[in-house]
Amino acid sequence: MLQREYRDSKGANVALLRSLAISLITKGSVKTTEARAKKAKRFVENLISKAKGDNLAARRYVLAELGGNREVSSALFSRVTPLFKGRASGFTRVIRIGRRRGDAALLVKLELVESFKKKKEVVSEEKQVEKTKEVEKVEKKAKPKKNE
């Protein structure tokens, strides 16, 4: 299979993929060129599928692929993989956002399909609904009854 190379050396290619993967795992999305996103998508999807089998070998593999970055590795296992329990593949998506002004390179947004940020928003909305219901109950009880 023909592999695309973006830099002069293999080390630079690996560093680029690691950097994009770390940004994607920590932030949930990353803006980059289309060619880089295609390469990073394959790399990140492989990491997530390995991380779903939460065992020592998977943890060591992910840690090695991320260059020994323990914080990002633990974030992958604790925050990202629980989002994709029912999904076998297709963890990321590429959305085209336009062309770059300087060289007209096609820019895309590479993001996780199930974002942990969205999950936080849903949880906070549910808490807000619960609070309003509690406030309404308290207001009903405190409302004075009219004597007829």
Of 130, 112, 117, nearest in space to 29 by CA: 112
Which residues have CB under 8 Å from 79's CB, separation 6+? 116
What total of structural domains would you count in the chain?
1
Residue 19 belongs to domain with CATH number: 3.90.1030.10
List the domain range (segments joined by +) for residue 81. 10-113
Residue 86: inside a domain: yes
Residue 70: inside a domain: yes
Please state whether the predicted TM-score (pTM) of the whole model is above 0.85: no
pLDDT tens column, 3-54: 666 667 888 889 999 999 999 999 999 999 999 999 999 999 999 999 999 9
